[in-house]
Amino acid sequence: MAMLLIYAAITASLFCFLYLFHRRRSCKHPLMRDYPILGMLPPILFNLWRIHDFCTEVLKKQGGTGEFKGPWFTKMHYLITCDSLNVQHMLCKSFDNYIKGPEFREIFEPFGDGVVTADSETWKYFRTVLHSLIKQRRFETFVDKTVQKKVHTSLLPILDHVQQQGEMVDLQDVFNRFTFDNICSTIVGHDPKCLSIDFPEVAIERAFNESEESIFYRHTVPSSVWKFQKWLQIGQEKKMTEACKTFDEFIYSCIASKRQELSKCSREEMDNEAPFDLLTALITEERGRVHDDKFLRDAAFNFFVAGRETMTSALTWFFWLVTKHPLVEAKILEEIKDNFEANYEGVVGIEEVKKLVYLHGALCEALRLFPPVPIERKQAIKDDTLPSGHRVNGNTMILFSLYAMGRCEEIWGKDCLEFKPERWISERGEVVYAPAYKFIAFNAGPRICLGKDLAFVQMKMVAASILRKYRFQVVEGHSPTPSHSIVLLMKNGLKARIMKRL
């Protein structure tokens, strides 16, 4: 019996030695300490509350690129980078070799086969159709009127009401409701009126939040764990299933109503009178190909997430940064005053905000420091070598941290942690455009965001309309903590008090 125990101990020791030897050989550029069995997961879990700052620190120590290995017997093996040349290589120069991949689509299940998750011909078709719609002047005019109406009839009156009552308000919640109403009107032609004085709870809005939290959760645990939870319908996966059911019922009902509404219209009425929301445009401009309900559902969902969350995130962090930098706020107000008459009472429109260069620079800074999507994911098809010298094997999962890139001295200089709108303005007073693979908030290469310009003008319309009337004071002791979601929101919102400008 004693001999058996000795042999078992020797075998176990040899096994552990071989395991560790193999791990070290297969992981040549470890980002952090590799624990037996658990891999590098313990420090990630320990720092989950500050995960983006932690990853930034780790990447800086490793020169911008390194490998992460999760627990034994899991597929949590990633190459992680914040090197802009690596990003340029993957997103631009070798675009065809780096795809979203089947595992990405599995994790991002609610997105379906939309433009965010699709690859190859499906992605090209989606992008071609959407590009033809977004670039139409008619669509820009529709968005301009929709945003102006929402700002005038809902956003400003509610801020005025809160100010008069002397109440505290969660600005992130306000922006979330505003952008959700706005994106609903833009996509399906329906305003759910989330942004009301009584701040009602809307099931579809909550469902989108829960699905995004579930997607983030799927990134933090081995796939076998969340798949098992999905099979049992417990925990975060149960929330995901319920959320998917809620927003699918909403979107499919919108599609059915829209088809019925349009069936009663003549072609001439569709061209001249029908509102140019995205769903109407997709149904009426099918280019010889009939779009089934699944196609329309996936297109709508992808636009909901892209349009809603990026605006909410960007505006929330922008206003927080502005409240912390009064000199920047003063320069934004001075620019608004120089471009608009003092007694101007209307909502600033698309054409007007194009003049606001300093405001544009301030929004770019907010997006640089707090990109709405802090981490991107790619999968290599064939073996490759990155500009940093790191070897990439076929099927390797690669994560690049947009959050860390915004804090790289190599990209932005020694003042990279400063909120400095001036870095985006030339000596002639014009906007400086950084290469997309460095300023990565809107992606880069063939997948660069189609709605980038439209997003900027909408953010400027909202920011200018608010700042010229109100100033904010963040509640004392309130510190912004990033939420555990695929979008960089504040975990506890942005609590502030509103004061009217004199």
- Tens-place pLDDT, residues 445-492: 888 888 888 889 999 999 999 998 999 999 988 888 888 778 899 988
The pLDDT of residue 15 is above 50: no
Strands 77-81 and 65-69: antiparallel
**490: Cα separation from own chain's centroid:** 13
Q: Is residue 11 part of a domain?
A: no
Rounded distance between C-alpha atoms, residue 305 and residue 177, angstroms: 13
Q: Which domain holds residue 163?
A: 28-500
Average pLDDT, rounded, for the chain: 84
Q: Is residue 327 part of a domain?
A: yes
Greatest alpha-carbon span in the chain: 95
Q: Give the model's confidence band at 271: pLDDT under 50 very low, under 70 low, under 90 confident, else very high.
A: low
In the numeric block, the tokens 């920011």 are attached to: 463
The pLDDT of residue 58 is above 90: yes
**168: Cα separation from own chain's centroid:** 27
The pLDDT of residue 8 is above 80: no
The pLDDT of residue 350 is above 60: yes
- CATH number of the domain to which 84 belongs: 1.10.630.10
- Tens-place pLDDT, residues 25-35: 455 678 778 88
- The pLDDT assigned to 381 comes to 92
Three-state SS letters, 173-220: HHHHHHHHHHHHHHHHCCCCCCCCCCCCCCHHHHHHHHHHHHHHHHHH
For the segment 150-176, the average pLDDT, to the nearest whole number, is 92
Q: 159: burial class by Cβ within 10 Å (0-12, 13-18, 19+)?
A: buried
Q: Is residue 19 part of a domain?
A: no
- The pLDDT assigned to 268 comes to 58
For the segment 139-150, the average pLDDT, to the nearest whole number, is 87
- The pLDDT assigned to 23 comes to 46
Strand partners, 473: 497
The domain tally of the chain equals 1
Q: Is residue 3 part of a domain?
A: no
For the segment 184-191, the average pLDDT, to the nearest whole number, is 85
Strands 397-401 and 77-81: parallel
Q: 228: burial class by Cβ within 10 Å (0-12, 13-18, 19+)?
A: middle
The pLDDT of residue 11 is above 70: no
Phi then psi for residue 351, to 5 deg, are -65, -40
pLDDT above 70 as % of the chain: 90
Q: Give the model's confidence band at 18: pLDDT under 50 very low, under 70 low, under 90 confident, else very high.
A: very low
**The tokens of 429 are what?**
């007073």
- Is 416 labeled as ligand-binding? no
Q: Give the model's confidence band at 363: pLDDT under 50 very low, under 70 low, under 90 confident, else very high.
A: very high
- Identify the helix (H) or strand (E) that includes residue 69: strand 65-69
**Helices (H) and strands (E) in the chain — how many of each?**
21, 10
Strand partners, 355: none
pLDDT above 90 as % of the chain: 37
For the segment 180-204, the average pLDDT, to the nearest whole number, is 86
For the segment 323-333, the average pLDDT, to the nearest whole number, is 95
- Tens-place pLDDT, residues 372-387: 999 998 999 999 999 9
Q: Give the model's confidence band at 411: pLDDT under 50 very low, under 70 low, under 90 confident, else very high.
A: very high
The pLDDT of residue 5 is above 60: no
Q: Is residue 122 part of a domain?
A: yes
The pLDDT of residue 103 is above 50: yes
Which amino acid is located at 145 in the chain? Answer: K
Q: Is residue 132 part of a domain?
A: yes
Alpha-carbon separation of residue 227 from 75, 180, 212, 232, 238 (angstroms): 13, 30, 16, 9, 11
For the segment 221-250, the average pLDDT, to the nearest whole number, is 89
Q: Is residue 133 part of a domain?
A: yes
Among 271-285, 301-315, 431-445, the minimum mean pLDDT is found in 271-285
- Tens-place pLDDT, residues 166-184: 889 999 999 999 998 998 8
Which amino acid is located at 359 in the chain? Answer: L
Helix, strand or coil, per DSSP, at residue 44:
helix
Alpha-carbon separation of residue 438 from 8, 47, 366, 388, 424 (angstroms): 54, 26, 14, 15, 13
Residue 120 · residue 96 · CB < 8 Å: no
For the segment 283-302, the average pLDDT, to the nearest whole number, is 76
Q: Is residue 65 part of a domain?
A: yes
In the numeric block, the tokens 């941290």 are attached to: 401
Rounded distance between C-alpha atoms, residue 377 and residue 218, angstroms: 13
Strand partners, 399: 80, 377
- The pLDDT assigned to 342 comes to 59
Q: Give the model's confidence band at 495: pLDDT under 50 very low, under 70 low, under 90 confident, else very high.
A: very high
- The pLDDT assigned to 346 comes to 63
**The tokens of 262 are what?**
């349009």
Contacts 24+ apart (CB under 8 A), 12-20: 19/72
